[in-house]
Structure 1
Amino acid sequence: MLRSLRRCIVRRNCAQILVPKCTFLTNEYKCDEAWNVQISSPILSKVNLNDFYNILDQNFLSKGVISAIDVDIFANAVRDPAYLDELKDLLHKLRLSAETGNTLESTYYATIRNYMEFGNIQELIEILRDPLNFGVFLDFYSANILLDKLITSQSYEHASNVASFIMLQEDFTNDITNTLCQYASYKYLCEYKSPAEAPMSQEENKKKEEIKIRIKFLRNPYFDDHFDIKDLKTLSGKTLAWISKNNNNNLNFNVQIIGWLFYKKYDKLLSLCKELVENKTFKLYPEVVELINKEIETQQDDTKTILTQCIGVLSKAVVTETILEDSLKMAIENAINRTQNKDIAVQKQLFLNWEQIREDKLEEQSKRLDRANRMKNIVEKQKRMQVEEQKLWFFENEEDIDLQIEEKEKLVDPASVKKVAQQKDDENYIPPEILPKRK
């Protein structure tokens, strides 16, 4: 079912055991060859990243301006993990400028691909989690490659985070992305363990003095139930629920039940269970009931009652002998077989388009800077010509110049002149020396 990528050698007790390392996506899907051709263009190969970063940084500090095309060139020219911090800094500065609206799609893709290649997955997740400060968003192709890498390495927590980012963007038009997100979220929820509560120290047990601060007003509490969700378990549940409701088949019905369960929408969960039981084609996976029973043990009385009702309703459904995880893997394989060739062709065309857009934007920026420099030179030349003209025609225009000087003197406020003169006198004032009186 899964394509064998390579075999890893694991040493145990001086013996070598071959463990298959599997992946869903083929090497062709990643389009490494086409990507390497794109980043080997003359524009990118000539860039000295150290000097280029210093120029961009100084320009931002002095003028507060940074160009989106310059950040794109930097992102696509990175060949060393030592420059990832500089790339992150430039992305933040671009986000602070008015140019952020002109950020190119190739900047997002190159950033994600660089962090994946150099193994900085944790930092990449933090960047994706903070679009307000960095403005990096996943597209389908980068998301698929990233999810495949994380699932392959069994980093289900990171994979579930990535799946939640896709859900928050609310675009479910790519079948491969949808199925990978379902698998990642399901695996995370199956292996989820509640974090152990740290024992309270003696200092924490001591009563702390309350510090009250006066504020002008209080904001009304607001929770949008989307971007405000911070708990990954809840986000994973919502990811399963939202992605699964777009497809009406038996697998997605079961996954949708799990989604509403962990999304904590128990009323929707109960109504969905009643609706599915009446569907003659519906077959229940045993793993669904196991997860509901597992949740019952951790919930309060009211929630336990609703979940127990769900178990009672689902007991009337026909149970399938198929394993849910195997069905999810099969769904991924089917989606890859359907859309892989199309996605590969789109990616290759995107790389060509990005290269052309980069050249056009760079040429446009060069012309704009050249035009600005010409205008600046013209203005400076006009000023020099005015000074020279005044010198050449001074005696012919002496009376007019005197009149202009008189007009300027009238515009000056005498009080301000007197104040300035007084300030100067005060500065030069030397107090008299006071001697003691003679007896």
Structure 2
Amino acid sequence: MAVRLRNNVCKLRKFVLPNFRTFLSAAYRCEDAWSNRLKCPLVAGINSSDYIYDLDRKFKNEGKISAIDVDLLVNKLEPTEAKNINQDLEEVVQRLRRSPETIHTLPSTSHAVLRMLLDSRRTKLMLKLLSNPLEFGVFPDHYMSNLLMDTFIEEKNYTAAARVASVLMLQEDFGPPLTQALAMASCYLYATSTENLPWEDYTVKIEEPEEELKIRIPYLRNPYFDDHFDLKEPNHIVGKTLAWGAPLIGGEIGTNCEILGWALYNKWSDLEAALQRCTANSSPVAASVITSVKELVTSSDDSENQEKIMSLVTRLESSGTCIKEVNLKSVIEDHVKNVAAKAEADDIKVQEGLYATWEKMRQEEVEKQLEEYRRKQLLEEIERKKNELKTKEELFTFFENQDRLEMLLDRKPVVREKDRTHFFPHKIKKPKKVDEDYIPPEVIRR
């Protein structure tokens, strides 16, 4: 597929993006460095619609799909083309994930897919891919996670921002301080907002057969809930993300986010331990967080833990110093801005270097594929010549080997009694006894 890209030339179209400026500056998007990939002859020579068709035909003929072919396609796709290739893009990514070639997936592939979907505002497809990493193999890097969360927070789509943050929790990798801060901001804004979009379930549904299908199985497995990847309740997912990410930030933000997280997650023993630490250390807790904890505990059915936690809350309130009237939202936003101001320059430098590295890596992979194609063609040519030589040899030596060849033609396969019994057991009869004194009758001609 990549072989024919060298001689193709096409015009580049520039997609103008709106100038967003929230926690991250416009320079953080590295637009110029990202657009440079389109100047590479390997990417510039691709016609997206034809390329998708060729990939589909190649998959049906050979039963596999190449990682470098998919990477070239997703890096060529522009936001203006996203509306027409939603289903095709999903299918291509899924085929790569299900093939052995998935181990060769380039790091630029997931980045290009997510960036194209972000720029074209295809949020639903993006969340579907992120929610099913085993099915589609799309994993955001820390830089891409920052872009996604920052954009969704600016759009006040806190549901999408929290879902991106939950991917970090599920992978147990909250990344550098900037990614940690944005994840806490995303989840806190979701937990405290009253106008969140629905948290849709993007789990791939298995189509059940129309007719009833009965399968005999040796035993039934007991149902198992891993309390991590099996989480489906939005509050539990967001709560666990807050609770796990808060200790990485620490301070006032870490204390409040951890308490709120355990309450959302309904982990009452962990919540009790966090409140006890605040009581022992006289750590201030935001009054808004205490109010949320009261509401969540009151709505639970666990009466035993409810009494313990409410008594701890009462003790905090009676202390007079542990409850603090503070706008936690503003504190979190200021923290994210401060961290972003320190990290932006280094992140931009690193990301621009990565884009250049990915371009070299793409070139090397294409060269490897070209070499593999040449090797395959050479082996096929050698095999073809060997067959031709064998045919010529048989022709030239025909008269020398004529007797042997004729014997081979006249020879009939000998069926042994054991083989005959094996293949035709119903036709085998016992041999008749021969009467040695038998005299045939005399035949008289009339």
TM-score (norm: length of structure 1): 0.82
Q: Write out aligned runs for 1:44-59 (5 A).
A: 44-59=43-58
CA contact (8 A) 2:239 2:265 kept: yes
CA contact (8 A) 1:160 1:181 kept: yes
Aligned twin of 2:203: none
Q: Match for 1:176: what amino acid?
A: L
Give how far 1:6 is off: 8.2
Q: Match for 1:122: what amino acid?
A: K
Give how far 1:22 is off: 5.2
| Cα root mean square deviation, aligned | 2.8
1:195/1:115 Cα in 2 relative to 1: closer, same or farther (>3 Å)? Answer: closer
Q: Distance in 1 between matches of 2:57 and 2:252?
A: 58
Aligned twin of 1:323: 327
Q: Write out aligned runs for 1:108-127 (5 A).
A: 108-127=110-129
CA contact (8 A) 1:6 1:22 kept: no
Could you give the per-residue CA deviations for residues 84-118 of structure 1, whole angstroms, max 9, x where no partner exists?
Answer: 32221111111111011111110000000010111
1:392/1:351 Cα in 2 relative to 1: closer, same or farther (>3 Å)? Answer: same
Whether 1:308 and 2:282 are equivalent positions in the alignment is no
Q: Distance in 2 between matches of 1:22 and 1:322?
A: 26
Give how far 1:400 is off: 3.1
Q: Out of 312-321 and 348-357, give the one that drifted further.
A: 312-321
SS across alignment from 2:383: helix
1:256/1:392 Cα in 2 relative to 1: closer, same or farther (>3 Å)? Answer: same
Q: Out of 299-308 and 215-224, give the one that drifted further.
A: 299-308
Structure 1: gaps of 5 or more residues = 8-20, 197-210, 420-439
TM-score (norm: length of structure 2): 0.81
Q: Distance in 1 between matches of 2:21 and 2:344?
A: 18
1:180/1:380 Cα in 2 relative to 1: closer, same or farther (>3 Å)? Answer: same
Aligned twin of 1:371: 375
- Number of matched pairs: 387
Give how far 1:410 is off: 5.0
Percent of aligned pairs with the same residue?
29
More strand by share: 1
Give how far 1:398 is off: 1.2
Could you give the per-residue CA deviations for residues 152-190 of structure 1, whole angstroms, max 9, x where no partner exists?
Answer: 010011111111011111112311111111111111111
Q: Distance in 2 between matches of 1:393 and 1:195?
A: 82
Aligned twin of 2:261: 259
Whether 1:285 and 2:289 are equivalent positions in the alignment is no
Q: Out of 84-93 and 403-412, give the one that drifted further.
A: 403-412
Q: Distance in 1 between matches of 2:348 and 2:197?
A: 41
SS across alignment from 1:228: coil
Q: Distance in 2 between matches of 1:137 and 1:182?
A: 20
CA contact (8 A) 1:66 1:93 kept: yes
Structure 2: gaps of 5 or more residues = 1-16, 199-211, 425-446
1:278/1:165 Cα in 2 relative to 1: closer, same or farther (>3 Å)? Answer: same
Q: Distance in 2 between matches of 1:215 and 1:412?
A: 42
CA contact (8 A) 1:292 1:307 kept: no
Aligned twin of 1:388: 392
Q: Match for 1:37: what amino acid?
A: N
Q: Match for 1:84: what amino acid?
A: N
Q: Distance in 1 between matches of 2:49 and 2:213?
A: 49
Give how far 1:321 is off: 3.6
SS across alignment from 1:245: helix
Aligned twin of 2:22: 23
Q: Distance in 2 between matches of 1:323 and 1:246?
A: 21
Q: Match for 1:298: what amino acid?
A: S
1:174/1:306 Cα in 2 relative to 1: closer, same or farther (>3 Å)? Answer: same
Aligned twin of 2:74: 75
Q: Distance in 2 between matches of 1:34 and 1:288?
A: 42
Q: Distance in 2 between matches of 1:133 and 1:284?
A: 41
Q: Distance in 2 between matches of 1:184 and 1:374?
A: 56
